[in-house]
């Protein structure tokens, strides 16, 4: 009988090529589905509301799961198992059952009583191979199959090693994801300028239009707490820019909300997060004011009730832009004296000083030294608290907005905030003061945070011990 | 058998088959499919039951086949008073030249290579069974002595679907002895015109023998043996087994519910079988399917059977084995309908 080795070898090759092709196809389609969904998710995270994002997230997750299950089922269906390989090739190459019959009969012959005879004669010259009577046509069948080997070469049955359509789909989806990530900064909404002040913002006014996004948001301690505030602020969890009262507190909603925040944080940076928190606080205060029957733009945290409600001792107010001709709040004197620090840009911490470096006194017109300029602790000394794990390996940014005076010469960048207009009432104190330079932020390992805070903390000292 | 020898044998089979068919076609107008089925049964070693109205060429087909193959041919017209001995032969007292008298067996018409049993349902069951024994055993027993029939032995029995009064319907067990049952349709308009033209002209068409008389029986037997060598894959055998089993109402009814689980088509076929079939095919039906398919494979030049070969002979092999009940008769359902449903359902089932 003619050798069947080439036939069996070719069956194995075809099967391997086919299965590899199907595996790649499934994988590429899965990648296409996953990355396409991820791209949509990124765009939705940046642009959609929390509710819409949650709905889209779980819909996309469901779609991906269903697609994965479908692809797995398809892969199983299209996978050519060893016992199905001959039939599959037979059907594809139109061999009319030749290959299937040959493989099946050889398998049967291996277990038949003639197997011993066959095994013995395998070593004999091919031409002399005897066959059981019922398999008299087997050599002819083998010969026919060998003659048709060229019709079902692996490259004929599975033309491409790589499924191009699936690959293109995967690449397209991956490109879409990359484009979405690259475009993310451009999709960042214009947040108001965040100004941190260590003076209460009583008297601050918001834009006349209720509900309009203010141009600036000032974050300041409440009047009563400003004096006794030391150390870091207790961070209050701030909701995102969701819908407030209508928020869903379910696990699914929390997960989707967390995902959306994470995407935004990763793509828009930490500044967005701070702005978001400040905005949320401002909105909350505004809502509280509205409930209390006050004008929406007025200081929200000034009343006793609000102080009672507030849980962090900070208040936030939306301010109209000075550039747009809005009225400047009186409480913004702190900023005018250089105490306001823009969280985005530390240069802003000294910009008022820079423009007013010849009037280096700390008075804000009332004759009082600026908070922290002397022996008073700056309540916003370390800036906004970090969210980093203090035991982790990451670093955090420590904002040091101590009331220092920059002695740098030269022109300064226009900051939009004018320096303090009043002359220093006690220049002798300023002369006796240490020359300090603005040190705004520095990366400090979280493990050192407590130490740094302790070192930089201002402690009350007796007036006579002051130089 | 080397590939070259095997290939030559298949080619020879194809040539012989085609030559016989060509010779028959000279005198039998139309009925190509019927002739092919009869030849298939002949080379598969089975017998054929033909159902057709009188005058449609039943006798002519068998006579032409005998002439083409150069084999002996006999015809028996079955009647009510036909006795078994009239078929098998009888012992008579023969007086020799020396005056001694002895019983001598005189072979009946069954002793021929090809036998036409015309209107077999008109004879009594006793007479029918005499023929059926000869068909099954390839021998005749008379007065305790068995006389083998010379191979090849091929019976082509006919049934007249009209004038059923006074007939004896063949029992299912006897129907089962026939490999195939074919229906001889009434000729079409064009075929009828050709029949009229051909059979009334001055020059009548004649059949030329394909084989020489001396070697014809051995040659036919050789071809029949070749058919048996055709290879059948296990999955094709499984397909045949499923097909046969699906015609059995008990299997369809009792089932394991697999039909419904596997799809509506199979469930529909099982429902038809359970509702309309009184008795399903016997295992002989499976043998008929495989043997007929082997001939089909050789005709196609293949040394192996395919699913399509099985499908091609399924109707002829199962039609008389699927016995319908009164519900089917009332609903106008025939066996072909049930078998086609079973075929459609079983075709792609895993064995």
* B52 and B145 housed in the same domain: yes
* A322 and A248 housed in the same domain: yes
- Residue A391 φ then ψ, to 5°: -95, 0
Q: What is the mean pLDDT of residues A231-253?
A: 50
* A175 and A208 housed in the same domain: no
Å from B203 to nearest chain A CA?
45
* A109 and A201 housed in the same domain: no
CA proximity to A353, closest of A407, A434, A315, A410: A407
The residues with which B156 forms a beta bridge, in sequence order, are B48, B116
CA dist A148 and A90 (Å) reads: 11
Looking at the structure of chain B, the number of domains it has is 2
Å from B306 to nearest chain A CA?
6
Is residue B97 situated within a structural domain? no
CATH label of the domain that carries residue B122: 3.40.50.300
* A376 and A418 housed in the same domain: yes
* B175 and B317 housed in the same domain: no
Helical packing angle, A138-147 and A98-111, nearest 10°: 140
* B326 and B199 housed in the same domain: no
* B221 and B246 housed in the same domain: no
DSSP H or E stretch at residue A32: helix A5-47
* A135 and A209 housed in the same domain: no
What's the count of helices (H) and strands (E) in chain A, helices before strands?
15, 6
Domain termination residue (choose one: B168, B196, B228): B228
Does the beta-carbon distance from B233 to A105 stay under 8 Å? yes
pLDDT at A211 over 90: no
Domain termination residue (choose one: B183, B207, B228): B228
What is the per-residue pLDDT for A268? 75
Domain termination residue (choose one: A153, A186, A219): A186
For tokens 């002979």, name the residue: B313
Q: Which residues of A touch B12 (CB under 8 A)?
A: none
Å from A143 to nearest chain B CA?
7
* A75 and A157 housed in the same domain: yes
* B255 and B205 housed in the same domain: no
Is residue B91 situated within a structural domain? no
Does the beta-carbon distance from A97 to B230 stay under 8 Å? no
Helical packing angle, A50-78 and A5-47, nearest 10°: 180
What ipTM did this prediction achieve?
0.82
Q: What is the mean pLDDT of residues A413-433?
A: 65
B184: containing domain: 3-80+112-228
Nearest residue of A to residue B228, measured between CA atoms: A134
Does the beta-carbon distance from B303 to A137 stay under 8 Å? yes
Domain termination residue (choose one: B193, B212, B228): B228
Does the beta-carbon distance from B3 to A139 stay under 8 Å? yes
- The token duo for B7 is 């290939």
CA dist A436 and A402 (Å) reads: 9
pTM of the model: 0.65
Nearest residue of B to residue A2, measured between CA atoms: B3
* A221 and A323 housed in the same domain: yes
Q: How many CB atoms lie within 10 A of CB B137?
A: 12
More confident residue, A190 or A330: A190
Domain termination residue (choose one: A159, A186, A213): A186
Q: Which residues of A touch B233 (CB under 8 A)?
A: 97, 100-101, 104-105
* B249 and B159 housed in the same domain: no
**B43-100 tens-digit pLDDT:** 999 999 998 887 778 888 888 888 898 888 899 998 888 898 888 888 888 888 888 8
Q: CA angle at residue B48 from B45 to B53, to 5 degrees?
A: 165
Is residue B106 situated within a structural domain? no
Q: Which residues of chain B have pLDDT under 70?
A: 163-164, 253-266, 348-351
Does the beta-carbon distance from B231 to A133 stay under 8 Å? no
Is residue B10 situated within a structural domain? yes
Does the beta-carbon distance from B229 to A134 stay under 8 Å? yes
Q: Confidence band (pLDDT; 50, 70, 90) for A398?
A: low
pLDDT at A77 over 50: yes
What is the per-residue pLDDT for B294? 95
Is residue B69 situated within a structural domain? yes
Q: Which residues of A touch B7 (CB under 8 A)?
A: 140
Does the beta-carbon distance from B6 to A139 stay under 8 Å? yes
Is residue B87 situated within a structural domain? no
* A166 and A260 housed in the same domain: no
Question: Which of B302, B309, B347 is the best mutation test for A, with the most CBs of A within 10 A?
Answer: B302
Q: What is the mean pLDDT of residues A401-419?
A: 50
Is residue B207 situated within a structural domain? yes
More confident residue, A47 or B295: B295
Contact B166, B123 (CB under 8 A): no
* A201 and A94 housed in the same domain: no
**CA A423 and chain centroid, separation:** 48
Percent of chain A whose predicted confidence (pLDDT) is above 90 = 13
Does the beta-carbon distance from A104 to B233 stay under 8 Å? yes
What is the per-residue pLDDT for A445? 74
* B218 and B246 housed in the same domain: no
Domain termination residue (choose one: A152, A186, A220): A186
* B30 and B137 housed in the same domain: yes
CA dist B20 and B15 (Å) reads: 9
CB of A95 within 8 Å of any CB in chain B? no
A109: containing domain: 5-186
* A383 and A454 housed in the same domain: yes
């Amino acid at each position: 009988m003619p050798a069947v080795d080439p036939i069996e070898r070719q069956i194995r090759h075809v099967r391997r090529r086919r299965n590899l092709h199907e595996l790649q196809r499934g994988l590429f389609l899965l990648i296409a589905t996953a990355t396409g969904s991820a791209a949509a998710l990124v765009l939705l995270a940046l642009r959609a509301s929390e509710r819409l994002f949650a709905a889209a997230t779980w819909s996309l997750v469901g779609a991906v799961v269903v697609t994965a299950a479908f692809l797995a089922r398809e892969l199983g269906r299209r996978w050519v198992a060893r016992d199905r390989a001959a039939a599959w090739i037979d059907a594809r190459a139109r061999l009319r059952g030749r290959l299937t019959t040959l493989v099946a009969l050889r398998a049967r012959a291996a277990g038949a009583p003639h197997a011993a005879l066959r095994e013995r004669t395998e070593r004999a010259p091919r031409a002399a191979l005897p066959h059981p009577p019922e398999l008299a046509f087997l050599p002819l069948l083998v010969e026919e199959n060998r003659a048709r080997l060229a019709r079902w070469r692996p490259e004929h049955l599975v033309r491409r090693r790589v499924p191009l359509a699936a690959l293109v789909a995967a690449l397209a989806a991956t490109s879409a994801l990359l484009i979405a990530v690259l475009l993310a900064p451009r999709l960042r909404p214009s947040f108001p300028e965040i100004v941190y002040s260590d003076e209460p913002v009583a008297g601050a006014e918001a834009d006349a239009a209720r509900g309009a996004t203010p141009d600036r948001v000032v974050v300041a301690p409440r009047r009563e707490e400003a004096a006794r505030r030391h150390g870091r602020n207790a961070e209050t969890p701030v909701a995102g820019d969701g819908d407030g009262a209508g928020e869903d507190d379910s696990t699914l909603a929390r997960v989707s909300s967390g995902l959306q925040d994470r995407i935004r944080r990763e793509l828009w940076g930490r500044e967005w997060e701070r702005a978001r928190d400040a905005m949320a606080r401002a909105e909350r205060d505004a809502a509280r004011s509205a409930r209390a029957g006050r004008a929406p733009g007025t200081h929200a945290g000034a009343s006793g009730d609000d102080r009672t409600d507030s849980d962090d001792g900070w208040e936030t107010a939306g301010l109209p832009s000075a550039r747009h001709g809005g009225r400047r709040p009186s409480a913004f004197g702190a900023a005018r004296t250089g105490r306001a620090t823009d969280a985005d840009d530390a240069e802003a911490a000294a910009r008022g000083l820079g423009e007013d470096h010849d009037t280096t006194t700390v008075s804000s017109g009332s004759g009082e030294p600026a908070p922290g300029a002397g022996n008073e602790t700056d309540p916003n000394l370390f800036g906004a608290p970090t969210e980093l794990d203090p035991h982790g390996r990451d670093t955090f940014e420590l904002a040091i907005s101590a009331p220092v005076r920059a002695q740098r010469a030269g022109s300064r960048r226009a900051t939009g905030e004018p320096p303090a207009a009043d002359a220093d009432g006690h220049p002798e104190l300023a002369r006796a003061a240490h020359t300090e330079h603005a040190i705004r932020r520095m990366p400090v390992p979280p493990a050192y945070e407590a130490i740094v805070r302790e070192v930089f903390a201002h402690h009350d000292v007796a007036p006579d011990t002051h130089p | 058998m080397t590939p070259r020898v095997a290939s030559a044998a298949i080619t020879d089979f194809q040539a012989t088959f085609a030559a016989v068919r060509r010779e028959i076609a000279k005198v039998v107008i139309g009925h190509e499919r019927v002739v092919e089925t009869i030849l298939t049964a002949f080379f598969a070693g089975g017998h054929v039951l033909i159902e057709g109205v009188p005058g449609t060429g039943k006798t002519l087909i068998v006579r032409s086949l005998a002439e083409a193959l150069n084999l002996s041919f006999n015809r028996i017209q079955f009647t009510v008073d036909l006795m078994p001995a009239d078929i098998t032969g009888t012992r008579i007292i023969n007086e020799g030249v020396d005056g001694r008298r002895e019983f001598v067996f005189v072979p009946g018409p069954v002793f021929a290579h090809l036998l036409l049993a015309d209107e077999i349902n008109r004879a009594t069951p006793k007479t029918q069974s005499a023929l059926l024994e000869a068909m099954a055993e390839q021998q005749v027993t008379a007065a305790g002595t068995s006389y083998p029939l010379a191979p090849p032995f091929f019976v082509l029995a006919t049934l007249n679907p009209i004038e059923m009064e006074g007939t004896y319907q063949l029992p299912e067990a006897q129907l089962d002895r026939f490999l195939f049952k074919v229906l001889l349709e009434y000729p079409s308009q064009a075929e009828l015109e050709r029949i009229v033209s051909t059979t009334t002209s001055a020059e009548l068409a004649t059949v030329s023998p394909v084989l020489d008389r001396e070697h014809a029986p051995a040659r036919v037997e050789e071809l029949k043996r070749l058919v048996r060598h055709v290879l059948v894959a296990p999955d094709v055998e499984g397909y045949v087994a499923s097909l046969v089993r699906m015609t059995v109402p008990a299997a369809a009814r009792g089932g394991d519910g697999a039909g419904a689980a596997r799809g509506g088509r199979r469930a529909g076929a099982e429902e038809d079988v359970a509702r309309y079939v009184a008795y399903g095919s016997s295992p002989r039906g499976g043998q008929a399917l495989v043997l007929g398919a082997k001939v089909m494979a050789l005709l196609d030049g293949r040394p192996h059977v395919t699913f399509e070969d099985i499908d091609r002979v399924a109707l002829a092999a199962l039609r008389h084995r699927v016995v319908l009940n009164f519900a089917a008769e009332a609903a106008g359902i025939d066996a072909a309908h049930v078998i086609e449903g079973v075929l459609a359902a079983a075709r792609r089932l895993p064995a």
